[in-house]
Chain A
Amino acid sequence: AQKVTQAQTEISVVEKEDVTLDCVYETRDTTYYLFWYKQPPSGELVFLIRRNSFDEQNEISGRYSWNFQKSTSSFNFTITASQVVDSAVYFCALSELSSGSARQLTFGSGTQLTVLP
């Protein structure tokens, strides 16, 4: 069965520091999809990125970057020069091709990031 582990429950950094959020996944599928979501205090989950298992290129979007490594089953998320507005709970999630057209997501338990001014 699929599983997503976010071992860091809470992280606290000072503004402008870089921070990496870890995500380790387990799946038997050879085709799968990984996601990161942000949940600010308002509660609504905001989609950040989707990565397919057959595309191992890392991605950078502004201050955000993602490092996908199939060899270690990890999909880590780095925020560069963190800002107070980055404070939120961040979720990593996995979807498998074998789940059919529904493509259900399995979420990690989330990492609470607090950026202090």
Chain B
Amino acid sequence: SQTIHQWPATLVQPVGSPLSLECTVEGTSNPNLYWYRQAAGRGLQLLFYSVGIGQISSEVPQNLSASRPQDRQFILSSKKLLLSDSGFYLCAWSVKGQGVGSYEQYFGPGTRLTVT
């Protein structure tokens, strides 16, 4: 069965510090990978998605970046955190949509980031 891991679970970082959040998926190959942010108030915002190694698409311009160095690894980074980067970061994976098929996304446990 497939499993998705995220770490760390919680993180408190000062403004201006760097960030690295990691997500790995087990039990599947060539998945789509996604990063979401959920600020207080519940809304889920898609930040980045990737359909393959080295292929990153950004949905929202910001001071965050993403990388996919391996098939089942997705990393979210920042060189200098802002207060507004605080939130709950969720990684997700799905099987690629083919033809008229589509598949649900499965989410990791999330990382709660507080920027102070």
B74 to chain A: which residues have CB within 8 Å? none
Digit string of A101-113 for contact with B (CB within 8 Å is 1, else 0)? 1111101011010
Q: How far is the CB of A96 from chain B (nearest CB, A)?
A: 9
**At the interface, is chain A mostly helix, strand, loop or mixed?**
mixed
CB-contacts of A26-58 with B (<8 A): 31, 33, 35, 37, 42-47, 50, 52, 54
Q: Is B115 engaged at the interface, CB distance under 8 Å to the other chain?
A: no
Known: A101-B97, A102-B51. A44 touches B42 (CB 8 A): no
A112 CA to B46 CA in the complex, in Å? 20
B105 to chain A: which residues have CB within 8 Å? 35, 47, 105
CB-contacts of B85-100 with A (<8 A): 88, 90, 92, 94, 96-98, 100
A-B contact count (CB 8 A): 72
A25 to chain B: which residues have CB within 8 Å? none
Contacting pair A103 B100 (CB below 8 A): no
Known: A47-B106, A97-B102, A102-B51. A109 touches B32 (CB 8 A): no
Contacting pair A43 B43 (CB below 8 A): no
Contacting pair A102 B57 (CB below 8 A): yes
Q: Is A95 engaged at the interface, CB distance under 8 Å to the other chain?
A: yes
Q: Is A117 engaged at the interface, CB distance under 8 Å to the other chain?
A: no
Q: Is A89 engaged at the interface, CB distance under 8 Å to the other chain?
A: yes
Known: A45-B90, A101-B96. A35 touches B104 (CB 8 A): yes
A37 to chain B: which residues have CB within 8 Å? 107
Contacting pair B43 A102 (CB below 8 A): no
Give the residue of A33, A35, A43, A107 whose beta carbon is less than 8 angstroms from that of B112.
A43
The 8 closest A-B pairs by CB, nearest first: A103-B97, A45-B107, A33-B102, A107-B44, A110-B42, A101-B96, A47-B104, A43-B110
Interface set of B (CB-CB < 8 Å, partner A): 32, 34, 42-44, 46, 49, 51, 57, 59, 88, 90, 92, 94, 96-98, 100, 102-110, 112
